[in-house]
Structure 1
Amino acid sequence: MQSNYKDTFILLSKVAGIGWFIAISLSLFGLLGVFLDNKFSTGPIFLILGVIIGSFVSFSGIFRIFKKFNNK
């Protein structure tokens, strides 16, 4: 029974890590987009590009993480 709780805790920590990975990826690329928009006085072009790139990075990272989970 103790092992079951330990496995659940490990799984929850990995899921929380995935959430942090998504949040950090989107935040960093979004903030980079805002910085570039302010620097070059453009509309939200770089912000939109940053969010798109951040989404791609986070989804590809999640895919790699799930692929690693599936192999174990």
Structure 2
Amino acid sequence: MPKRILTGTVTSNQNEQTVTVSVERRFRHPVLKKTIRKSKKYRAHDEKNTFNVGDQVRIQECAPKSKTKRWEVITAEA
């Protein structure tokens, strides 16, 4: 089964080898027929501490690296 890949913005890089990525999704409300934005934060593994706050990145599912990290950064979006 393929691993999920999400695109989001780095919101925090204060921890060693970890970044917090905010991923936003949009969908139409089933009753109101209005477009709604929801965001969720993911902790992702950043091996070389290369990403800073505000960077657009792609994250991929991986085996658990710690209690909260189940994602890893694969590339920066241009």
TM over 0.5: no
Scaled by the length of structure 2, the TM-score of the pair is: 0.23
Question: Which gives a bigger RCO, structure 1 or 2 (Cα 8 Å, sep 6+)?
Answer: 2
Q: Given the two structures, how large is their TM-score scaled by the length of structure 1?
A: 0.24
Which structure has more helix as a fraction of its residues? Answer: 1
